[in-house]
Structure 1
Amino acid sequence: MLGKHIESFMSVTNKLFFHTYFYPFIQLYGHVNEIYLSFRASTQLDVPVLLNGIRQERDGEIYLDCVVVEMRKRLEHEKDILQTKKKLEELYQATNEANKKLELLHQEYEIKQQELINVNHQLETMALTDALTGLNNRRFFQESLLANIALFQLSQLPFSLFIIDIDRFKLINDTYGHPVGDLVLHGLAQLLKAESREVDIVARYGGEEFVLILPNTTEENAKLIAERYRAKIEATPMGDLSITTSIGIATFKSEDTDQTLISKADQALYFSKTNGRNRVTHAVDMV
C-alpha cells in the first residue's frame, strides 16, 4: 500500500461508500470511527477491515491520518460481503446492456455527489449559525476573532470587540415566559445586524450575550458606535417590551491575545452592569 492512494485497493462499491460517508463526515466532524470496508489484496481476495480516521494540521497542511485494522470476527458482515460480491460478479459479467446501466449509475452517482456537496455546504453553514437568532454562533465568532488578530499582525489596523448583554433578561423570562424571551433575542439580533456594516462580525455569544467584531475601529470610534447601538436598542420596542443593554468594549493591542481581549471586554461589560446598566464602558476607561 506504500505510496499508493487508499482508493486503489477498493472495489467500486466501497469507493462509492467511501465518498458518500468518509469524506463528508471527516470534513464536518474532524474524525471518523469504525468504518467497515474491504480491500482487494494482490491475491484478488477481499480483506475486511475497520478504518478509523482523523483530520489534523501539521506545518500548515491538512492531513487525514487513518488506522486500518483487519477484521477477524466478521460473522455479522458476511451476509453483506456475499451479497456485494455476487452483485459485482453479475455486474462485470453483464453484456453491453449492463455497461449502459453502469453509465447510468455513474451519472446518477455524479448527481448524488453534487447533492451531497450541497448538503455538506448547508451543514457547514448550520454548524456556524445560531439556530434561534440566525446570527453567526460562538464558533464562528472565535474563528473570526483569530482571523482579525492575524490581519492586525500584518497590517496594524485596529479593531474593537463589543460584548452586549440584555439588562435583567432573566426577569423577562420569569415574567413573560421563554417564548417572549426568545422573541426579544431574535429582535435584538435583527437590530444589531441591521445597524452593522458588512465587514462587521455579529454573533450570539451565549444566552442573552451578543458579540461584535468591528474591523478598522479605534477606541474613540468604538465608543461612539457602541453608544449609538445602546441608544437605538433603548428606543426600539421589542414587541410589547422595551429593553436596555449594557456594553463592554475592548480595542486590540499588540500585546493582546484572543483571550485577553475577550477578558477586557467582559470586565468592561461587568463595569457597565455594576454601575447602573444601560451604559457603555471601554476597558481603558474603567476606574
Structure 2
Amino acid sequence: MDERLNHAPCGYISITHEGIVRDVNQTFLDKMGYKHEDLVEKHFESIMSTANKLIFHSYFYPFINLNGHVEELFINLKDNTGQSIPHILNGRRFVHEGEEVIDCVLVQMGKRIDYELELRTAKKQIEEAYWEKDQAHAKLKQIHKEIEHKQKELMNMNSILVELSTTDKLTGLRNRRFFQEKLEEHIIQFSTTSEPFSLLIIDIDHFKQVNDTWGHQTGDDVLENLASILQLHSRADDIVARYGGEEFVLILPHVGVTDSKIIAERLRHAVAHASWKTGNLTVSIGIATMDSNDSDVTLLKKADEALYFAKEHGRNRVIHCIDMNE
C-alpha cells in the first residue's frame, strides 16, 4: 500500500464483493486497536453488531450493486475492546487485477463522542461546585450555561443523525430501515386492535432499459420523480419508502382489500399519465392485506408474489395476492 494512503488522516479498507478484507491502512488499525492480521482475510462484518450487519445488507450491498458507490453511510464498528465506534462510510466498486473490490473510506464520528464526554465532565464539575464556598454560585452559573450549550449541540447532532439513518438520500423518502420498523409497529397494533392495513410493493417496469438507454443520471431523475408522485397521491398517515433499487413500498393504515386496490390503481394511473423524459413509463404493483396469520415476513412475501404475478402477466397492472388464483 502507498505510504501516504497507509497513514492518511482517515481509515481505509478494501474488501471483496463477498465482504472479505483484502487490505487496511495503518490509520484505521491504530484508531481501532487492531493488528493487520486481525482483519486482513477476515470478513468485514466480523467487527459489526447484528443490527449493523442488517444495515450493511439492506443498504450498502444493494446500493453498491446498483450504482457502484455508496456515500455517507452511518454505521457502527467495534474496536478491539468491543466498544461500538460510529463512522461515516463512503465506498466505491472497481476491478483490480481481475478481482472486483470495494474501497471504503471511514471517518470516525469522534465529535459526537467528545460532546458526550464534555457533558459528563460538566455534570461532575457541578457536583464538585456544591462543596465550594466563595465562588460556588458564579461557577455554577457558568457550568449551567456550558451544559445547556452542549446539550443543544448534542440534540441537534442526534436529530440530524437519526434523520440521515432513516432517509433515502436520492429520493428523500424514508428508507428500508424506517419502513421495517413501521411495519413491525403496525403488526403489533393489529394484534391488539385487528384494525386492517395493507402493504403495496411498487416496481418500475423495464427500469434497466431506462438506465441502459438514457444513463444512470436519468434513471436517478426517474426515481426522484416517481417518489414525488407517490408522496403527492398518498395520505398524511401513509408510510411511503424506497425499498431498494427501483422498488418502493407503501403501508396504508386502516385500509382493507377493496380500498387498497382502488388506491393502488390510482397510483398506477398517475404514473402512467405523468410526463416522463424517457417517454412512457409504467409501474406494476403487488398488494397484501394483513390478517391474523401474517408476520412481517409473510406479508412482504405475499405482496412480492403479487408483484411478480403482475410482472408475469403483462406489467402496468395492480394485483392483490388474494386475486392470484382467480
Scaled by the length of structure 2, what TM-score is found?
0.59
Change (3 A) 1:30 1:244: closer
Q: Does 1:167 align with 2:212?
A: no
1:269 paired residue number? 307
The question of 1:249 aligning with 2:287 is answered yes
C-alpha separation in 2, matches of 1:267 and 1:194: 26
Unaligned runs of 5+ residues in structure 2 are 1-51, 53-73, 86-120
Q: Which residue of 2 aligns with 1:132?
A: 170
The SS at the match of 2:230 is: helix
Residue deviations 1:210-232 (CA, integer Å, cap 9, x gap): 00000111111111111111111
Amino acid at match of 1:257: S
Q: Structure 1 pair 132/221, CA: closer, same or farther in 2 (3 Å)? A: same
Give 1:1-287 correspondences, 5 Å limit.
52=83, 100=138, 103-287=141-325
Q: Quote the Cα distance in structure 2 between the aligned partners of 1:219 and 1:51.
A: 48
Aligned CA-pair RMSD: 3.1
* Counterpart Cα distance in 2 of 1:157 and 1:53: 39
Identity of aligned residues (%): 50
Partner of 1:77: none
**Which secondary structure state, in structure 1, belongs to the residue aligned with residue 198 of structure 2?**
strand
User: Larger C-alpha radius of gyration, 1 or 2?
Assistant: 1
Is the 2:210–2:278 contact (alpha carbons within 8 Å) kept by the matching residues of 1? no
- C-alpha deviations, 1:80-134, integer Å up to 9, x for none? xxxx9xxx9xx99x99789856743541332122111111011101111111101
Paired residue type of 1:211:
V
Q: Which amino acid aligns with 1:268?
A: A
Report the secondary structure of 1:161's partner residue: strand
1: CA distance, partners of 2:309 / 2:199:
16
What is the CA–CA distance in structure 2 between the aligned matches of 1:137 and 1:155, rounded to whole Å? 27
User: What SS is found at the alignment partner of 1:253?
Assistant: coil
Look up the SS of the partner of 1:241 in the other structure: coil
**SS state at 1:202 partner:** strand
Q: What TM-score do the two structures reach when normalised by structure 1?
A: 0.66
Q: Is the 8 A contact 2:200 2:287 kept in 1?
A: yes
Q: Distance in 2 between matches of 1:264 and 1:51?
A: 39
Q: Per the alignment, do residues 181 and 53 of structure 1 end up closer, same or farther by CA in structure 2, a change over 3 Å counting?
A: closer
Q: Take 2:76 and 2:319, find their aligned partners in 1: how far apart are those partners?
A: 42
Cα distance in 2, alignment partners of residues 105 and 158 from structure 1: 52
8 Å CA contact retained: 2:214, 2:278? no
